[in-house]
Structure 1
Amino acid sequence: MAKKLYKDFLWGGSTASYQCEGAWNEDGKGLGEWDVFSHGNPLNINGCTGDVSCDFYHRYKEDIDMMAEGNQNTFRFSISWARIMPNGRGEVNQGGIDFYTRVIDYCLEKNIEPNVTLFHYDLPETIAKEDGFANRDTIDAFVEYAKVCFKAFGDRVKLWVTINEPKYYAYCSNVVGNYPPNHKQDFQRYFNVVYNEAVASAKAIAAYREMNLDGKIGIVHDSSNVEVAPDCKEPEKVYLRADMFYNGIILNTALKGELPGAFIPFLYEMNVDPSFIKFEDALTFKNGLVDFMGMNVYNRFYVTDYSEGETEVFHNNKGARSKMKEGIRIKNMYETTDDPNTKRNLWGREIYPRCMYNTLMEI
């Protein structure tokens, strides 16, 4: 079966730098926003850190060997921005370049295609202190960092992802508030961050092509599938609102090179000031179309009419210790709802495998 699949598929595993590397302060790496959060923020409810984690930094050969033994032929991993550029811009850390060179070379030695993500939730702390992706200056800092990586690894890496799940990163950081910088229900900042991430991604893609590298480059979006409950009174309006909230910026700019026509009216309806949208970005989006769209599929967004109550976000960080169901209610807009025919996992997230098929067909 594996031999048949490999004719058409890359079949492998995926990690993120902070989640697996450890070595948080070794070989010239700068502080990342998660280093600071995990070491002292009271919202780190379990007191866990990524200081050691899976110790991939020191044991990457063991992990890659296991992938090869399991007949995996690709490895998707992210680069720590602060390991390459400790201050987010300017100085390049040779220790970081050397580490990822070793990882990439060992993947190739084992016939495993490296699939490299530039940003997976882990801003350098210096950039985070400048308001992160809510600050338009971060766009140019990200492109500078991307060019360093393209130059160092582009001869061997043929699959690149600019940003992993820009919407979910912005959502957890600015709506749920469980990711640093822990803003809650800050919809102005949420849309600002997602938009700037989309601009940064498009600019990095254009820079990659300007360097005449021969790989493919895209972005990874998460869980785009919006479905409307059958008893919804205004299904078209509810669908449009939810689709604008979850997908409007990322899918349209990455795949079509433009913002959807309904997007700015939707922002006004959300009481969001759209002044972060700049005229010159229209050309940036046109020049930054993706070669591929990655999808991380966890769940659908099952929505209906807004019923009553203030805006509220439901998010379970405690697993079986909480009865909270994942979802959101946005006053006068829409809310997520329960499907009585599906179950939920221990974190309150719906178990609905068909959303994988529906996601692909919808896109």
Structure 2
Amino acid sequence: MSFKPDMVWGAATASYQIEGGWDADGKGPSVWDRMARWPGKVKFGDTGNVSSDHYHRYPEDVAIMKEIGLQAYRFSLSWPRIMPEGKGAVNQAGLDFYSRLVDSLLETGITPWVTLFHWDYPLHLFYEGGWMNSASPQWFEDYTEVVVKALGDRVKHWITHNEPQMFIGLGHEVGEHAPGMKHPRSDLARMIHHTLLAHGKSCRKIREHVDGAQIGWATANGAFQVADPSDEGVVAQAKADLFDYTETGVMAFQPAVWNDPAFFGKYPENFLRLHGQSLPKGWEEDMAAIQHPLDFSGFNTYNAARHYFRNEQGEVAFEEPWHFGNGFPRTHFQWAITPECLYWTAVAFYERYQAPIAILENGLSGADWVHTDGKCHDYHRIDFLTRYLSNLRRAAKDGVDVAAYFQWSLLDNFEWAEGYNHRFGLVHVDYETLKRTPKDSAYWYSEVIKSNGTNF
């Protein structure tokens, strides 16, 4: 056996990264609109004002999806496009845009997978404290209700948050992403709890309004790989470390802090011991709302955070990707290419949370350009995906219930603090003319979809 017959193959995008139309038709500002105007925060002073201009060119993009043969398209909604101040008044023009997009997808035979929040937090709510504010879970629940009432008759696949590790960790701990803050860990614990509660409340609101809803979320996980798969001790230690909580590194990056409450209704013991006193008063009463049956365990994986092995002393040890040595294969982003991580992370998450696995982002950045023959030859992406998907297929053969795979990304786009310095797309975008050129990888991926992942 390989992938299941009903395996879903798609591609993904995010609203601020592709839409443009940053203030069109009543849209309100987001924290990323603020970040892009903060000198020195985004490379070259780039902004998402126009980006790939998907807001005005979505019919062309849907036609390209059809040409590739995508079965599903994962996209996010811009909260301030729908509710300009994040709460209160609804911008009907924003809702209508997403309604037209959903209808266009369905008419083309592509299933929409909607992400409610992919980092473009309403600026007005940030000025009211954002995720620090105890009202933030209610704001997100109210926003969810507006959306599902408008789209829930046609959209059945829902993702609450995309990578809470990143929008809290990079946005509020490291300060590299919007809103560009650096909070103490006591504040971070509070924000983590409010984000989790927002997720739980959103899940319940989706169930209330959408018949047959399929719900999950997209977490960014500390993927790992091992040197010797037959060394059970090394494998066991790698899995244990993945789901432990330590004070080293970025607090918000650790996957169990997010997934254990969502699936089990409890925080990791070490997290509670170190930060329980910083959680909001009465947090225990929120855990039942945070825990909600999820239909799939969604995560985004690009490379291994750790490579485990047994050292010369016979002890289990690991090295991190920036120590992999000179000449180790890397993407344009300088992320190490570690295909086995997709196998091990899928196995570990399926074992722990017992929910079907949906890979909601996987891909690489390249320095891609249109060649003199008018085509975009990205052989590096085809090789990368062949390696990673081979490991996902191995996980499926070993019994992991792999439900879906989404390539990141459909289009070249605004890569957050890196601006337009990286190209992740299956489709090349000329940012001067906005011309779309499907890359060789798009046609390769088309054959993967047709063969259900058996052609490589």
Give the TM-score normalised by the residue count of structure 1.
0.81
Map of 1:284 onto structure 2? 289
Letter in 1 for 2:190: N
Distance in 1 between residues matched to 2:161 and 2:246, nearest whole Å: 22
* 8 Å CA contact 1:226, 1:302 repeated in 2: yes
Shift of 1:340: 4.6
Distance in 1 between residues matched to 2:74 and 2:179, nearest whole Å: 26
Name the CA shift for 1:188/1:339 in 2 (closer, same or farther; >3 Å). farther
Answer yes or no: is 1:261 the counterpart of 2:266: no
* 8 Å CA contact 2:35, 2:180 repeated in 1: no
Answer yes or no: is 1:360 the counterpart of 2:368: no
* Aligned 1:24-103 pairs, distance under 5 A: 24-103=22-101
Which shows bigger deviation, 186-195 or 9-18?
186-195
Distance in 1 between residues matched to 2:210 and 2:64, nearest whole Å: 34
Name the CA shift for 1:275/1:142 in 2 (closer, same or farther; >3 Å). closer
Distance in 1 between residues matched to 2:241 and 2:203, nearest whole Å: 33
- Aligned equivalent of 2:117, options 119, 123, 139: 119
Map of 2:385 onto structure 1? none
Which shows bigger deviation, 84-93 or 36-45?
36-45
- Aligned equivalent of 1:15, options 13, 16, 29: 13
Map of 2:361 onto structure 1? none
Aligned residues: 324
Name the CA shift for 1:185/1:92 in 2 (closer, same or farther; >3 Å). closer
* 8 Å CA contact 1:195, 1:249 repeated in 2: no
For structure 1, the 5+ residue unaligned runs are 305-333
Letter in 1 for 2:257: I
Map of 2:440 onto structure 1? none
Map of 1:142 onto structure 2? 140
Equivalent position SS for 1:251: helix
Map of 2:377 onto structure 1? none
Distance in 2 between residues matched to 1:89 and 1:276, nearest whole Å: 24
* 8 Å CA contact 1:12, 1:73 repeated in 2: yes
Name the CA shift for 1:352/1:186 in 2 (closer, same or farther; >3 Å). farther
Q: Deviations over 1:176-230 (max 9, x none)?
A: 2111222237433333323221110011101222235322111111123356999
Distance in 1 between residues matched to 2:90 and 2:8, nearest whole Å: 32
* 8 Å CA contact 2:193, 2:279 repeated in 1: no
For structure 2, the 5+ residue unaligned runs are 229-233, 309-317, 350-456
Shift of 1:277: 6.7
Equivalent position SS for 1:221: strand
Map of 1:300 onto structure 2? 304
Shift of 1:79: 0.4
Which shows bigger deviation, 144-153 or 9-18?
9-18
Distance in 2 between residues matched to 1:276 and 1:173, nearest whole Å: 24
RMSD of the alignment, in Å?
A: 2.9
- Larger RCO: Structure 1 or Structure 2 (Cα < 8 Å, ≥ 6 residues apart)? 2
Name the CA shift for 1:20/1:276 in 2 (closer, same or farther; >3 Å). farther
- Aligned equivalent of 1:168, options 166, 169, 184: 166
Letter in 1 for 2:16: Y
* Aligned 1:324-343 pairs, distance under 5 A: 336=320, 338-340=323-325, 342-343=328-329
Map of 1:311 onto structure 2? none
Name the CA shift for 1:69/1:226 in 2 (closer, same or farther; >3 Å). closer
Name the CA shift for 1:199/1:222 in 2 (closer, same or farther; >3 Å). same
Equivalent position SS for 2:26: coil
Map of 2:279 onto structure 1? 274
Percent identical residues: 35
Distance in 1 between residues matched to 2:98 and 2:210, nearest whole Å: 22
Letter in 1 for 2:146: V
* 8 Å CA contact 1:32, 1:122 repeated in 2: yes
Q: Deviations over 1:302-327 (max 9, x none)?
A: 289xxxxxxxxxxxxxxxxxxxxxxx
Name the CA shift for 1:106/1:203 in 2 (closer, same or farther; >3 Å). same
Equivalent position SS for 1:248: helix
Which shows bigger deviation, 156-165 or 243-252?
243-252
Equivalent position SS for 1:67: helix
